[in-house]
Amino acid sequence: MIGEVGEAIEDIDQTGRVFVHGEYWLAHSDRPIKAGSTVKVVKLLDGLKLEVVEESVSTNDRGIKVNQNSRLSSLRCLNPKFCHTKGSTSCSDWVLIFSG
C-alpha cells in the first residue's frame, strides 16, 4: 500500500478522505491538501488510516497527468509495424513510459 497513488476526495486539513487502490480511506497529512489533488501513501497508521502527501502532478499537452517526480524510462511506439516498416520518423503513436 505504501507508494500507492490516489485522490483526495475532500480537503485534507490534518484529516480527510482519500480514494486509493479502489477504496475510500481516512487519511492524515501534516500539510493541507485540496480535494481532487493526487496523493501518495507514505505510511500506514493505526485504525485503517493512511498518512499521505500531495503528489506533484501536472497535465501534459494531451491532457494526461504526469508525475513530476517520475523519470522517463523508455519510449515505445504503439503501432511499430506501420511506423517501422514504412520508415516513418514522424510517428504519432509514441507512448512515454515513466518510472518512480
Q: Which residue has the higher pLDDT, 4 or 65?
A: 4
Domain containing 5 equals 1-57
Looking at the fold, whether 80 and 45 belong to one and the same domain comes out as no
Q: Specify the pLDDT at position 47.
A: 77
34 contacts 52 by C-beta, under 8 angstroms: no
Alpha-carbon torsion (63, 69, 70, 71), positive or negative: positive
Query: What CATH number does the domain containing 43 carry?
Result: 2.40.50.140
pTM of the complete model = 0.58
Using pLDDT thresholds of 50, 70 and 90, give the confidence band for residue 67: low
Looking at the fold, whether 4 and 48 belong to one and the same domain comes out as yes
Looking at the fold, whether 42 and 79 belong to one and the same domain comes out as no
In angstroms, the CA 61 to CA 94 distance is: 14
Looking at the fold, whether 40 and 85 belong to one and the same domain comes out as no
Reference 27, options 40, 76, 88, 36; nearest CA is 40
Q: Specify the pLDDT at position 26.
A: 96
Alpha-carbon torsion (29, 34, 35, 37), positive or negative: negative
Looking at the fold, whether 82 and 50 belong to one and the same domain comes out as no
Q: How many domains does the chain have?
A: 2
